Amino acid sequence: MIALARTRELTFATAGPGSVAHMSGELLARETGIRLEHVPYPGDAAAFPDVVSGRVNFRVGSWSDDRQHVQSGALKLLAVFYPHRLPDFPNTPTVTESVPSMGNYPAGVFNSIVVPARVPEELVAQISDGLRRALASDGFKQRISALGLYPRYTTVEETAVFLRNQVTTWSEIARSAGILIQ
């Protein structure tokens, strides 16, 4: 795909302007020097008909939304914005394998659990420990992987650093790509 995009501009679909998918596509274009035209849709489901039909060249989106279409054969998974290959698709490379400089950026969607700042540290520690144990349980792992999600536990301190890096990284990408959120 990158080789093709070096010969002509390609279009990419996302669930909307300013989304992580949009900025990940812009980051890919910047790091590879290719030209991509963003085609925003009002949500993930709206993009699928145009991607499947070829009206849009490719899609950047969440694995949990794309998984069923890849498994059905309607879409082909080219690469994942993930630190390592997906267990369900071990032959599909990460974006970083094709574009090593992408490893410098925290691409991907994340979820976190937050509490009000006034919650006592002891309670925060108990909640954090409970989450760690839940994420380690086989039952949870099976249920969540069936949804195409691959959670990992981070400490409160690691999450704070991660969030600061996310704000810095994506603000810079948005500025450089001229992405304005209104």
Range in 18-22, 33-37, 102-106, 158-162 the model is least confident about: 102-106
Tell whether 71 is covered by a domain: yes
Answer yes or no: is pLDDT of 27 > 70: yes
The reported pLDDT for the residue numbered 40 is 95
| CA dihedral over 131, 136, 142, 145, signed as positive or negative | positive
Q: Is residue 140 part of a domain?
A: no
pTM, 2 dp = 0.79
Average pLDDT for the chain: 88
**115-173: per-residue pLDDT in tens?**
999 999 999 999 999 999 999 999 998 888 887 777 888 898 988 888 888 888 888 88
Q: Sheet holding 10-14: strands in order across?
A: 36-40, 10-14, 58-59
The CATH number given to whatever domain includes residue 32 is 3.40.190.10
pLDDT 10s digits, 7-21? 999 999 999 998 888
Residue 95 lies in a domain: yes
Locate 41 and state its tokens.
């849709």
Whether 78 maps to a domain, the answer reads yes
Q: What total number of domains does the chain contain?
A: 1
- Range of the structural domain that residue 57 is part of: 2-107+170-177
Q: What is the pLDDT of residue 64?
A: 79
